[in-house]
Structure 1
């Protein structure tokens, strides 16, 4: 059964679409209010006429209120809420879905009308319709919350051309154009800061409230708000290719990835609904064969009650809404789940395996010590190293560049090659120039008298012309929140592991400080894959947290791939199952907490719906429940389940 079937209220959908035209929020809000009033109008009419009918039936009892006059009044009460449902039932049948909940409610209420239970027939359809409206509003609220959390893009920007300022649509801005950003304005496209300095509020993207000061040439992203001075930004990406646009598309499409629980319930509903329909038919027909005095009204009434109770809407709506809530709660906390299936998987994770650099450490390296043999020109060696490292995206390369400065344009390197897990190689003046770890030195037979165990920092060993030149030590800082993240994982009874290509001694030092269960260093990409397989076979399901680019094989192998620095790499957003936007290690246990809470709410709804329906179904079949209990078992339980699902987005998740 589709979402459309369970909450098909076109006015809500249309208004939702309208409300996302970013340049008319106030107007759309007024339209939204008007649409909601229009949506409830049939129910209000039905309710008023029903009350009049009940007053005539049980209090005033006018002599004329019988026969056709009574039928006509209750028909007027029934049609505003009943006709749309009957129409939907026929539409569903045309599409091959005979046993929809519209069919169940239509047959049940028409049956009640046949036996003269007019007030109950109207009341059932009235409450059902009101329940459908609330379900629609709840679903759209969840979708709107997710979209509004993410869609921070202004529609218009001010461009600078020939010293003239002109306002244009953001979609029309080309790469290379300059944007003027006034204090308080939000950036619409990714680019780099052209002004000397500017401070930005990045909370809409990262959840980080403190201002982020950028210097000329620094990357600035769509969604950032300029705080103090007028700034100029050079556009580097098209509107639709900005990081925020891709993240927004990801979140809006997240509901397409169904969780196993959700898929099961949908399949179950397709089997369950026909079964209860035939059971209801059996309740009506079979007693004729076994009871002495068969009263068709009594058994038809019981069959109608059975049909009303059996409607699976509470399950089919509340479960996807629960996953919507989880995705929304994640977005609010700077965590992007690519679908309900990943929420389910993360909730069951037993082990978290983390990369070191950028996940548990800052990934901001600084040159600490330089030891170059006196047989070589240190300045020349550093210039060659700087030129060679410019071909690497590793943070260590940035540290070298910051220390050495601009590249020497007269320097020529040939046959540059990256050797995975070891370092870089190039030809300089016709001779091999190597920069990497000790494994690289061993590979090329470079001898030295250093012991890697004596170093607790990252080290770049350098060789030229088959001779050991020296080394540079690079320091990295552990993230201040990393120890809290590991402690929280332990509270959740989750094992923590660290796998890194960095030196074993460096990795062990970090693991000891953070009290990580198991750590392995000096790993090549294929070694990480082997280690992950070993962890999973020994300890169970695994989530891997890394950059999602260099560790692509491990991310693919893990049960859940989590990427740190979602705003830093397009490839990260594309490859990971869960993206943590602000690089904070504490978001790892937070994502798991949100997943566990979501799964808990989903199962609460399943148990609630099945439990209440089972009890009232039995009572209804035995003649101990009326239509009013049936209404509660269907609409009442659906509303309770929806309220429970919406609750996820209002939970205060903390680490």
Structure 2
């Protein structure tokens, strides 16, 4: 699937049923830059003419500035900002959608001209245009973090073919081919580093500003920027499956998925707009039957003010912008939400359930302790052990083979696997047994009693029928694991639980180290599922599950919020999850919660601000206590305040 152009649709730009200006694509297709003078020109012309006209009116500077000349001046001032709105209103009416913001603004401003309030009619449109420019600038700013991801999409890859590196589209490179990346260029596909070492900027992928240093054989991800020297990479994924393509797809999907608050406001606006239109009509004509000194022009003016005030622009603009800002802030911190709805759900989570390996531990097994018989040196002992384990594919064997303090000298022959127990073979003419206590018992080898109390995985070895020693294998806690638990507690998480497929003794040890509420080990995927199902039945429990493996996918799907470790996590887990932690740091879980809380708080601040001010000024307008200027503030002014409030998300820092 070839994508020549990646385009992000934001909630602000998307067409929706409410039909307001802030929801139509025409409004923000061109980014607002200080150098793009044409975008500002209509508002500047109208504003200058408005100020000049009002000054002439106030000082009566030009005697003949009256009648048709005054009307013509203000019409010319109105047209640069008013025509685009009237045009959009007419297009909406032709489609059968009468009750749009364009309709409200058009009726109110034309009505203002009809009753001789020319400056106020122009002012409404000028400030509306200024509001649109502010909105566009805010959208672009909110897009900044996500746009950084889009900019990482590589344009080409230098692939080795016929003994030369030739430029091709990343989509055309196959798995196993060798690509070259020069200094300052983006890595186009996921792969394994063939060069000795290098330093890479992975900030847009992980949120980490510190360069990442990799050595030969390490995995390197598409979107990283090469900082050192020319490198060569063997590709391990085609472009559509690479990390950067997956992120781009997630970002595109995220901007299309609305929160419940956002969906409610859009439905509300669809009902609200015709209601206020009919109320404005009633406000114009009904007083005729109840007011003795009824003056049509006065009540029409109040109705026009009512229409301007009633525009729900502040809500329709600022709420999607708030959520989009939250998505952008999260991506800047190495966290990808697959939709605004999960920003909302994250704020309700009170229980976090975590996997162990790869989530709070590094998932890399290492030799922790080595205990041997005194007749062997450490090198001799490890050579016997490594010679046998070379024949095994078990993860623990890999940990033993990674022991790099010795040169591997011995060779094993006649190696056989004893199911569930270990290996048996010949090394240097001696019979060597390597495995667990069951293997030793089976061959009637006496082992020290101290081994019964060891919690970690243990690998024992016997040579020619005598116990030779053992090594313990342990996973390591991630450097920020303890910090992650502390931050989650501070973020309001009441219960933190660990469910692991590792043996229960190890799971309990890790849980105790971290200070978790409870833990359970030795679980199959279906066992984890049952445990989470039990938790979900408890009243007022909202669960976030954090995992990284294929076996975690069912629980990630079941939980209220599924969080996957995106760096080393399986593709299945990442596709199933709702939130992706790009750099595998568990402390980012608390950051995700904090960003969700900040976003929701700002959205509700905007809702209260918009409704509060509008209700007050609506009442004043209906009672004849507010002029068109107050109406302008209640509409455009509140919208600008709400936008500025939403933009604050881009400056916030989360520890």
How do 1:237-248 and structure 2 match up within 5 A? 237-248=237-248
Does residue 493 in structure 1 map to residue 492 in structure 2?
A: yes
Mean alpha-carbon deviation: is it higher for 473-482 or for 322-331? 473-482
Does residue 6 in structure 1 map to residue 21 in structure 2?
A: yes
CA RMSD of aligned residues (A): 3.9
Does residue 48 in structure 1 map to residue 48 in structure 2?
A: yes
1:585-640 superposed Cα distances (whole Å, 9 cap, x missing partner):
11111111111111111111111111111111111111111111111111011111
| Deviation of 1:120 (Å) | 0.5
Q: Residue in 2 aligned with 1:257?
A: 257
- Residues 169 and 197 of structure 1: CA distance in aligned 2, closer, same or farther (over 3 Å): same
1:551 is paired with a residue of what secondary structure?
A: helix
- Residues 304 and 11 of structure 1: CA distance in aligned 2, closer, same or farther (over 3 Å): closer
How do 1:310-349 and structure 2 match up within 5 A? 310-349=310-349
Q: Residue in 2 aligned with 1:627?
A: 628
2:192 is paired with a residue of what secondary structure?
A: strand
- Residues 425 and 72 of structure 1: CA distance in aligned 2, closer, same or farther (over 3 Å): farther
Q: Residue in 2 aligned with 1:354?
A: 354
1:562 is paired with a residue of what secondary structure?
A: strand
| Deviation of 1:380 (Å) | 11
How do 1:87-236 and structure 2 match up within 5 A? 87-149=87-149, 151-236=151-236
* Matched-pair contact (CA < 8 Å) for 2:349–2:544: yes
Q: Residue in 2 aligned with 1:479?
A: 478
* Matched-pair contact (CA < 8 Å) for 2:435–2:460: yes
Q: Residue in 2 aligned with 1:467?
A: none
1:47-74 superposed Cα distances (whole Å, 9 cap, x missing partner):
1222222123221343322222122111
- Residues 487 and 171 of structure 1: CA distance in aligned 2, closer, same or farther (over 3 Å): same
| Deviation of 1:185 (Å) | 3.0
**TM-score, length of structure 1 as denominator length:** 0.84
1:452-496 superposed Cα distances (whole Å, 9 cap, x missing partner):
97332145899xxxxxxx997420111221111111112223121
**TM-score, length of structure 2 as denominator length:** 0.84
2:555 is paired with a residue of what secondary structure?
A: helix
1:309-329 superposed Cα distances (whole Å, 9 cap, x missing partner):
111111011011111111111
- Residues 550 and 72 of structure 1: CA distance in aligned 2, closer, same or farther (over 3 Å): same
How do 1:392-411 and structure 2 match up within 5 A? 396=396, 398-399=398-399, 402=402
- Residues 2 and 601 of structure 1: CA distance in aligned 2, closer, same or farther (over 3 Å): closer
* Matched-pair contact (CA < 8 Å) for 2:208–2:334: no
Distance in 2, Cα, partners of 1:388 & 1:507: 25
1:550 is paired with a residue of what secondary structure?
A: helix
Distance in 1, Cα, partners of 2:359 & 2:624: 62
* Unmatched segments (≥5 aa) in structure 1: 17-30, 373-377, 417-422, 429-434, 442-447, 463-469
1:480 is paired with a residue of what secondary structure?
A: coil
Distance in 1, Cα, partners of 2:460 & 2:119: 87
Q: How many residues align?
A: 613
2:551 is paired with a residue of what secondary structure?
A: coil
2:624 is paired with a residue of what secondary structure?
A: coil
- Residues 53 and 369 of structure 1: CA distance in aligned 2, closer, same or farther (over 3 Å): closer
Mean alpha-carbon deviation: is it higher for 325-334 or for 172-181? 172-181
Distance in 1, Cα, partners of 2:278 & 2:549: 52
1:323-361 superposed Cα distances (whole Å, 9 cap, x missing partner):
111111111110111111001000111111111111111
1:614 is paired with a residue of what secondary structure?
A: helix
- Residues 524 and 573 of structure 1: CA distance in aligned 2, closer, same or farther (over 3 Å): closer
Q: Residue in 2 aligned with 1:27?
A: none
Q: Residue in 2 aligned with 1:562?
A: 563
Distance in 2, Cα, partners of 1:282 & 1:452: 88
Q: Residue in 1 aligned with 2:582?
A: 581
- Residues 437 and 324 of structure 1: CA distance in aligned 2, closer, same or farther (over 3 Å): farther
* Unmatched segments (≥5 aa) in structure 2: 1-10, 373-381, 426-433, 440-445, 462-468
Q: Residue in 1 aligned with 2:598?
A: 597
* Matched-pair contact (CA < 8 Å) for 1:187–1:223: yes
- Residues 60 and 387 of structure 1: CA distance in aligned 2, closer, same or farther (over 3 Å): farther
| Deviation of 1:284 (Å) | 0.7
